[in-house]
Amino acid sequence: MPPAPSPAPLPTSPMMPELVDSHCHLDFPDFEGELPQIIDRARAAGVTRMVTICTKLQNLPRVREIVAAHEGVFYAAGVHPMSAAEHPPVMVEDLVALACDPKFVGIGETGLDYHYTADSKAIQQRSLRIHIEAAQETALPLIIHARAADEDMAAILAEGMARQSYSCVMHCFSSGAALAQAALEMGFYLSMSGIAAFPKSGELRDIFATAPLSRVLLETDSPYLAPPPHRGRRNEPAYTAFTAKTGAQVFGVSEAEFAAATSANFDRLFTRAARGAKAA
């Protein structure tokens, strides 16, 4: 488990722009016993909404408990590609059935990861296609994890789009320029995580700079990938604000403008979370 963060000031202000953490993992044991404080710190940093991602369907009861207990917290669920070979295959109907819950806002994360689990490539590809079909049936956005699999990822996403259109976000985008361009051409979104704020991520920042600001989301992927000044420690939704500073610099806009744009993008993609926020 990554070490807990040392106390450090969060970017707080009465004029703090509203931010959205579009991808975190609040059910992970890293947050056990601290979740109310974690969410309070997120609110203090301007993060008004979060999507917590269930990566194993057997963890759904705990995820639903968290979502029920905290206003502004939504969830998505799927089978992570690195786990696809460890469990019985998920069926399209299993994922579609989840959509009856109004706080269920997306399908995934799913995708391809050949960095650590290339031996399960065929299983991952089959699982990805199932998740695409579920996204098409539910009209909910697909949430994609891609690592060391750019060509196959672009091909399978395009194959699905040729059959029926669907919406999608490339979560924690850190792949190459070709996959970014392919995703943008299909109308998808790129999500900026703390990786973009790492000093050596200049090439990734350049890729984001070529994207329309209207296609960019923010996320933490917490408890992983904390941006500076917390790099190497446990990440948490409040740190969305640090990545937003980097995003504003990449696009040459103010932090308030970047926050407003990425929140509007989130509303456009995660329509259920937008409706839920307005109804709250």
Average pLDDT, the chain: 93
Q: CA–CA separation, 26 vs 39, rounded Å?
A: 9
CA atoms within 13 A on the CB side of 100: 3
pLDDT digits (tens, 9 = 90+) for 70-82: 999 999 999 999 9
Question: 40 or 17, which is more confident?
Answer: 40
CA distances from 40 to 55, 123, 227, 236 (A): 24, 39, 19, 11
Q: So what's the pLDDT on residue 17?
A: 76
**pLDDT for 10:** 55
Domains, the chain: 19-279 (3.20.20.140)
Percent of the chain beyond pLDDT 70? Answer: 92
- Residue by residue, DSSP assigns 111-143 as EEEHHHHGGGHHHHHHHHHHHHHHHHHHTPPEE
pLDDT band at 8 (very low <50, low <70, confident <90, very high): very low
Residues β-bridged to residue 267: none
How do residues 132-169 score in pLDDT, each as one tens digit? 999 999 999 999 999 999 999 999 999 999 999 999 99
Q: Are 230 and 242 in contact (CB under 8 A)?
A: yes
pLDDT category of residue 202 using cuts at 50, 70 and 90: very high
User: Tokens 């969410």 appear where?
Assistant: 39
More confident position, 161 or 4: 161
Is the predicted pLDDT of residue 6 greater than 80, yes or no?
no
Q: Given this model, what pLDDT does residue 279 score?
A: 43
**pLDDT tens digits for range 231-255:** 999 999 999 999 999 999 999 999 9
Identify which of 168, 177, 146, 252 has the alpha carbon closest to the alpha carbon of residue 217.
Answer: 168
Split at pLDDT 50, 70, 90, the class of 275 is: low
The pLDDT-based confidence of 5 (bands split at 50, 70, 90) is very low
